[in-house]
Amino acid sequence: MDETATGSGGPGGVGGPGGPVGIVGLGYVGTSLAAVLAEGGYAVRGVDVDATVVDRVAGGQCPIEEDGITERFERYAREGRITASTDASTVADCPTVLVTVGTPLAAADPDLSAVEAATADVAPHVDRGELVVYRSTLPAMATETTVAPLFAEGSGLEPGADFHLAFCPERMAEGSAYEDLTTTPVVVGGLSAGSRDAAESFWSSLGLETVPVSDPTAAELAKLADNWWIDLNIALANELAILSETLGTDAMEVISAANTLPKGQHNVNILYPGAGVGGSCLHKDPLFVASLGEEHGLDLETPRVSRRVNDRMPGHVVDLTREALGGDLAGATVAVLGVAFKAATDDTRNTPAVPVIEGLREGGADVRATDSYVPAAEVEELLGLRPTRLPEALDGAAAVVIVTDHGAYRALTPETLRERVGHDSFAVVDGRHVFAPDAFDGTGVTYRGVGRGARE
């Protein structure tokens, strides 16, 4: 294979700031990346199959709500530095194209239909010497066995020889997307040495550190390994939390002490327990790993174990609420703070708020849900109940359940919370460690926190 695909427009023909770059897929990953690339001087040409998304971009609106991203995206869209279309030919003159479409689960297996469709749409518009980078999470070996053959068929060119093809997984976390995209090293797996070099040159133009690996498969597996580890780590923290509650000790104190032990390259790093794991990546990537193992005759146990443990946590929050209310949810007014799966974002994919609220309602509670980021119409569609503003949600509540630690909820003090509830005979169930466990001591408020034990 020719290792040095050539072309014009910068190192390896990949262009540079001031020139156009294509992004196929304007979901969370693509939209966040568009804002950062526009800030870095690129003219971003987005493609999305959803005409509603395209219309929002044309109107200067960001398709997502994300601190650090929304305001930048809208500014650059209004300036014309970010444009969007449903037509993939809009990337025809882009020396670099990034594919950021979703890869959900179909049953327990990866669904690559969106990746395959995007590849088929883009392939005819790629020229010699250009760079195509996949940011979508892919099962290991998919770049070589699925993407490359589709590109060869659709373009008539040989990937890695006639044009550059690389897999560079997204590694951002929602709620901190801007910081992550501008500081986190980029793993680069090229189909050839030339593809790797071209991709490294592109990311270096943004001042980012790169981590080159031997091939796309190594990069694909590195991404899956990250989220496999995170989900396992949270599962450990969650089971430690439940054990700590049973023993009457504080899991956060235990974790803080445990994390002082030097081990390996750094210290032990147990993450924090909570009300549940949400979002897209941690729900599906461990199952991608399990599915990959099955394909190769391996029974990998830890990916499924972590999913089972973490999926139980919303039910545990319901149990804590029932206990805090004296064993009965029936007729109790419960304010649930947070519908998004994570702070500082409006993303509700796989949010633990859904099973928490379902469990509370099944127990007979009257639930009031509120969220400072998620649009009211989306809350109503997701939960089947009309959301309320924070003051109305808290007024007269028998219990306050914190599922998402948005800034507005972290800003609450015990005093302001008691004032807004209007009485002291209520319970706080803290799923995100917003309050110290002794914050309500002596007030008459009952406190329960994940991993915190009982406080009256």
Report the catalytic residues: 223, 281
- Block residue for tokens 């390259």: 265
State the distance between the two ends of the chain, measured CA to CA, in whole angstroms. 70
Q: Helix, strand, or coil here: 413? A: coil
Which token pair is 27? 């979901």
Question: CA–CA separation, 430 vs 452, rounded Å?
Answer: 9
Is residue 160 within 8 Å of residue 191, measured between CB atoms?
A: yes
Record the tokens describing residue 194, joined without a space. Answer: 């030339």
d(CA 417, CA 437) in angstroms, rounded, equals: 15
Q: What is the CA radius of gyration of the chain?
A: 24
Distance of alpha carbon 8 from the chain centroid: 35
Cα separation, 357 vs 351, in Å, equals 11
Q: Rounded distance, CA 62 to CA 51, Å?
A: 14
Q: How far apart are CA 130 and CA 77, in angstroms?
A: 25
